[in-house]
Amino acid sequence: MSLTSLGRWRRSELKVATVVVGVAAGAWALTADRMAGMNAGPGAELGSLSWFAISWLLMMAAMMLPAIMPAVIVCVRRAGRAGEAGQFVAGYLAVWLAAGLVAYAGAGSVRSLQFGFLAWGNAGRWVAATLIAAAGVYQLTPSKDTCLRRCRDHRMILRDHRRGGLGLGIQHGGFCVGCSWVLMAALFALGVMNLTWMGVVAALIAAERLLPRPAPLVVALILAGLSVSVALVPGDLPGFTTPGSHPPPAMQMR
């Protein structure tokens, strides 16, 4: 069930959609403000736990809310009240926040080991390229296919009368993390604080969920091309910040 299969939206549903789009737009603006002056390259410092948690939550709201619009509307339609949308979104973002905290802990653990070979001038670019390539390979796996089908098919939301909006949001968020966690890992390799690549990854995620036909193969090919570019010609990638190419900007963790 995609945007084209939702039929005519009721006025209350259009209001919910407008609010969700407004929240996503506001999250983009706040994210851009928080990222100003930050190192936008791969391997950048992630800041304190509290700073990262708030920034990650804003990023997920900005990147993911447009992609899950059909699910939000179906949840509202099932319950017959607009208040379900807020609970659904809260549960959904809570799952992504948990995933972000796991990524934060993993990145911190790797950084604490101080592996010199991970420097960009050594093996860093190859590690980043391999991570992006692995994300492309995952696009073609049964796990990706299963999670993507669950993300696109919202009949489960309509039939599930045991869970409220919060529970449905958590469930949908779990499938979404299973579908897109490697794309987020690729974003870390491209520069998790890079607004350009945040936009690219957000567009790929939205395309997978909203286009009439799933596009995992197309996304896999795009990731393969990015992997080769990061490994061989990172300076030619638009918006890509090559570590060490210029003095790091002053970090302002607001």
Residues 221 and 8: their CA atoms lie apart, in Å, by 35
Placement of tokens 């990262």 in the chain: 52
The per-residue pLDDT for range 3-12, each reduced to its tens digit, is 444 455 577 7
The per-residue pLDDT for range 122-162, each reduced to its tens digit, is 778 888 899 999 999 999 999 999 999 988 888 888 877 77
Strands of the chain, DSSP E: none
Placement of tokens 């090559």 in the chain: 242
Pick the closest to residue 91 from 172, 170, 20 (CA basis): 170
Does residue 245 belong to any structural domain of this protein?
A: no
- 3-state SS assignment for residue 252: coil
Q: Give this prediction's pTM.
A: 0.86
Pick the closest to residue 37 from 17, 55, 49, 13 (CA basis): 55
Axis-axis angle for helices 11-35, 49-64 (nearest 10): 140
Residues 72 and 168: their CA atoms lie apart, in Å, by 10
Does residue 97 belong to any structural domain of this protein?
A: yes
Q: How far is CA 46 from CA 55, 72, 73, 100, 170, in A?
A: 10, 31, 34, 11, 26
Does residue 136 belong to any structural domain of this protein?
A: yes
pLDDT score for 193: 87
Q: Which residues contact 45 (CB under 8 A, 6 or more apart)?
A: 39, 251
pLDDT higher at 187 or 44? 187
Does residue 240 belong to any structural domain of this protein?
A: no
pLDDT score for 125: 84
pLDDT score for 245: 58
Q: Which helix (H) or strand (E) holds 201?
A: helix 195-210
pLDDT higher at 163 or 62? 62
Residues 83 and 73: their CA atoms lie apart, in Å, by 11
Structural domain for 74, as ranges: 10-235
Does residue 4 belong to any structural domain of this protein?
A: no
The per-residue pLDDT for range 21-30, each reduced to its tens digit, is 999 999 999 9
**Number of structural domains found in the chain:** 1
Does residue 243 belong to any structural domain of this protein?
A: no
Does residue 244 belong to any structural domain of this protein?
A: no
Does residue 23 belong to any structural domain of this protein?
A: yes
